[in-house]
């Protein structure tokens, strides 16, 4: 049911932890399953220099956050903004349909952390104003 990559990132997640002097911290949750994901970003000159996460949730949420951090580390803010939950799931060689919302949490957690960074630093980030962190709405947009 789960790909080898999902199992790998679940049993050996990358970038777990916190960044104490993070430039942006995002936290999102899914009301239905109760899982929570927190994402910490260190940003310098528009580049995601470091990223760490803490996920209180299911294995797919842990694998999704691990993969998502790997996909945005060293990338630009705009590249991180462009990361979709589908890209996270694809990089994991797929998730079962009932677990796609776990990858949605990863996308939202990154955007939530970028929003926090934007507010604290005053740096404008294109596209952030369109982000909706409401679970159900987000599902409609990205899950199918």
Binding ligand FES (rule: CB under 6 A), the pick from 2, 3, 8, 33 is 33
Catalytic residue among 41, 68, 102, 110: 102
Known catalytic membership, residue 58: no
Of 6-14, 39-47, 94-102, 127-135: span binding ligand FES (CB under 6 A): 94-102
| 41, 58, 100, 106: residue in contact with ligand FES (rule CB under 6 A) | 58
Q: 137 Cβ partners below 8 Å, 6+ apart?
A: none
Q: Name the residue number minimizing CB distance to ligand FES.
A: 33
Side-chain-side CA neighbours of residue 58 (13 Å): 18
DSSP label at residue 10: H
Segment lying near ligand FES (by CB under 6 A), choices 27-35, 80-88, 112-120, 129-137: 27-35
Which part of the chain contacts ligand FES (CB under 6 A), choosing from 40-48, 53-61, 72-80, 125-133?
A: 53-61
- The Cα–Cα gap between 116 and 72 comes to 17
Distance separating alpha carbons of residues 18 and 85, to the nearest angstrom: 22
Residue 110 contacts ligand FES per CB under 6 A: no
Look at residues 140, 101, 133 and name the one whose alpha carbon lies nearest to residue 115: 133
């Amino acid at each position: 049911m789960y790909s080898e990559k999902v199992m790998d990132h679940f049993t050996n997640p990358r970038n777990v932890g916190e960044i104490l002097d993070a430039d942006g911290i995002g936290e999102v949750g899914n009301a239905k399953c109760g899982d929570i994901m927190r994402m910490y970003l260190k940003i310098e000159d528009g580049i995601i220099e470091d990223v760490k996460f803490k996920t209180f949730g299911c294995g797919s949420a842990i694998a999704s956050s691990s993969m998502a951090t790997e996909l945005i580390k060293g990338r630009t803010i705009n590249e991180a903004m462009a990361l979709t939950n589908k890209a996270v799931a694809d990089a994991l060689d797929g998730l079962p349909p009932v677990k796609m919302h776990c990858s949605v949490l990863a996308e939202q957690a990154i955007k939530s952390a970028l929003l926090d960074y934007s507010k604290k630093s005053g740096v404008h980030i294109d596209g952030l104003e369109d982000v909706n962190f409401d679970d159900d709405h987000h599902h409609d947009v990205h899950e199918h």
